[in-house]
């Protein structure tokens, strides 16, 4: 699409307002809304001025003036606003240099795609994430000086089997999802079929093709809705829209959706397995005659992912809560190995089809709390580094890693056990991210500082409710 197409679309849809979306450093969508008469062809070059000083992880006061330049490649009508509102994704641009702002995550993804083409290795990187999420009936939490805690309510939760009927949830009819037994049951055990279907229809109206939806493994409303893969940038855009539609549809139903990776103790967390492949022209570059139908190039890409995995998860599993999911011996793949079909490996090669066009890798450590522009870019640069340096990933591990004896596991490296460790890995290993000026040293430094000062340190300083149970009478 171009500027004229965008203006014609706004006219055809009867849009009265324009919502320009952009993403902060942490990964949350933000927006500015303008009367539609403020949009003209010049807006797609000149942008809209705004103050970036209050955006998380962005500018300081002395460099706060920025431009938000709409990108006409992606348009849709907001399904949740009262007045007809056209939505468009914008890029944050430095008003002096007219280049993409260094801290704008979407600009990082654009530079990653440009660098891929510059290498000559491939033209396109395709990404397909499986972003799991929970839908709860309500959630309460507090973190005060003298109290802290949270409470989740879900009529599906197995802990609700003994509750009395009430006005909010209605009568207790007994069908509950047992812990770790929530994978694809039918209704009435699965209570969220219609909600997921409405999300799917809304996604389709906004230009995202849905392939499947189902209940996931955990109790209390864990869901998955799979949508069609696209380019790195296109998929990152789609994932932001996906989260927006999931949250707002749940809100309309009087429920709450979260992409927090581990909201429940003792059950599966929400991951975001990332399928990825490289293409040059019409040729899929990961298909070959090697192990699991892989090409040599694909093996080197795997080698890069495994070598840099500890640094990648600083972006792909970027919260302290992420590491309550990435725990050895439980559902998440923390051991750095690759395998065909084996879901206990960090990298899996799906074997559903022998079609070369469907040959891809699935990187399993990421979770949906990530900023997709940064996470996808980090994965791509790690894979390209593997190809450029011919990094051998070693032999595949075609065994259930969770059942291996300690002596068999001692030579298999594993992911960091905490966000702090992942950030330290990123500090020690980030040269591969600086290629092509995709990431800048300033962005990496700001990311590490933000995470340590705003997330790790506050958590480290607070007493945990469990500590009272463990130590109050010590």
User: Active-site residue numbers?
Assistant: 51, 130, 132, 216, 224, 273, 343, 362, 364
Give strand pairing partners of 100. Answer: 93
User: Per DSSP, what are the bridge partners of residue 335?
Assistant: 414
Round to whole Å and give the CA distance between 80 and 282: 38
Say which residues have a Cβ less than 8 Å from residue 230's Cβ, sequence separation at least 6.
Answer: 126, 127, 128, 238
Residue whose tokens read 């075609």: 398
**Beta strands in 245-293, from DSSP E residues, in sequence order:** 256-258, 272-280, 283-284
Task: Count Cβ atoms within 10 A of the Cβ of residue 446 and give its class: 0-12 exposed, 13-18 middle, 19 or more buried.
Answer: middle
Assigned token pair, 284: 């899929």
**Which one, of 321, 304, 313, 310, lies nearest residue 258 by Cα?**
321
Whether the bond between 106 and the residue before it is cis, its omega within 30 degrees of 0, is no
User: What one-character-per-residue DSSP string does 342-400 give?
Assistant: -TTSSEEE--S---GGG--EEE-S--TTS-HHHHHHHHHHHHHHHHHTT----S---S-
Contact 135, 400 (CB under 8 A): no
CA-to-CA separations, 382 to 268, 309, 366, in angstroms, rounded? 28, 8, 14
- Please check whether residue 178 is in contact with residue 219, taking contact to mean a CB–CB distance below 8 angstroms: yes
CB neighbourhood size of 397 (10 A): 21
CB 57: neighbour CB atoms within 10 A?
A: 18
C-alpha to C-alpha distance for 103 and 127, rounded to whole angstroms? 22
> Which DSSP state fits 165?
P
Query: How far is residue 284's CA from residue 358's CA, in Å, rounded to a whole number?
Result: 8
Q: How far apart are the first and last CA of the chain?
A: 66
For residues 25 and 56, is the Cβ–Cβ distance under 8 A?
yes
**What is each CA distance from 228 to 220, 231, 239, 286, 341, in whole angstroms?**
26, 10, 11, 19, 21
Task: Output the CA angle 391-397-398, nearest 5 degrees.
Answer: 140
The CA distance from 472 to 474, in Å, is 6
């Amino acid at each position: 699409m171009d500027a004229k197409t965008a203006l014609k679309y706004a006219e055809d849809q009867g849009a009265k307002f324009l919502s320009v979306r952009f993403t902060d450093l942490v990964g949350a969508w933000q927006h500015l809304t303008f009367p539609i008469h403020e949009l003209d062809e010049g807006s797609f070059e000149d942008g809209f001025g705004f103050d970036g000083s209050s955006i998380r992880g962005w500018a300081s006061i002395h460099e706060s003036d920025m431009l938000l330049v709409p990108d006409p490649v992606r348009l849709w009508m907001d399904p949740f606003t009262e007045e007809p509102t056209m939505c468009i994704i914008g890029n944050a641009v430095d008003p002096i240099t007219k280049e993409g702002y260094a801290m704008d995550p979407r600009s990082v993804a654009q530079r990653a795609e440009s660098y891929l083409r510059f290498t000559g290795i491939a033209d396109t990187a395709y990404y397909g994430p499986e972003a799991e999420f929970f839908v709860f009936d309500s959630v309460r939490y507090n973190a005060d000086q003298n109290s802290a805690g949270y409470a989740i309510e879900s009529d599906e939760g197995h802990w609700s089997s003994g509750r009395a009927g009430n006005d909010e949830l209605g009568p207790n009819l007994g069908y509950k999802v047992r812990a770790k037994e929530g994978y694809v049951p039918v209704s009435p055990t699965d209570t969220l079929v219609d909600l997921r279907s409405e999300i799917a229809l809304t996604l389709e109206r906004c230009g995202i093709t849905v392939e499947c939806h189902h209940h996931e493994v955990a109790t209390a409303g864990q869901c998955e809705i799979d949508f069609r893969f696209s380019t790195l940038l296109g998929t990152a855009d789609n994932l932001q829209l996906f989260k927006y539609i999931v949250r707002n549809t749940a809100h309309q139903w009087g429920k709450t959706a979260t992409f927090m990776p581990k909201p429940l103790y003792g059950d599966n967390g929400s991951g975001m397995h990332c399928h990825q492949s490289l293409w040059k022209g019409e040729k899929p570059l990961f298909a070959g005659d090697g192990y699991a139908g892989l090409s040599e190039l694909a093996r080197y890409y795997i080698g890069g992912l495994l070598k840099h995995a500890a640094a990648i998860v600083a972006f792909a599993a970027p919260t302290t809560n992420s590491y309550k999911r990435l725990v050895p011996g439980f559902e998440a793949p923390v051991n750095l190995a690759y395998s065909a079909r084996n879901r206990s490996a960090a990298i899996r090669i799906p074997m559903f089809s022998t079609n070369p066009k469907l040959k891809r890798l699935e990187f399993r450590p990421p979770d949906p709390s990530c900023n997709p522009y940064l996470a996808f870019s980090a994965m791509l640069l790690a894979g390209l580094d593997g190809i450029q340096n011919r990094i051998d990933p070693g032999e595949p591990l075609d065994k259930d890693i969770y059942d291996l004896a300690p002596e068999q596991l001692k030579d298999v490296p594993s992911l960091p056990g905490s966000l702090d460790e992942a950030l330290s890995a990123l500090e020690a290993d980030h040269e591969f991210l600086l290629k092509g000026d995709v990431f800048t040293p300033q962005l990496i430094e700001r990311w590490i500082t933000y995470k340590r000062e705003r997330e790790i340190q506050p958590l480290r300083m607070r007493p945990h409710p469990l500590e009272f149970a463990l130590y109050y009478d010590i």
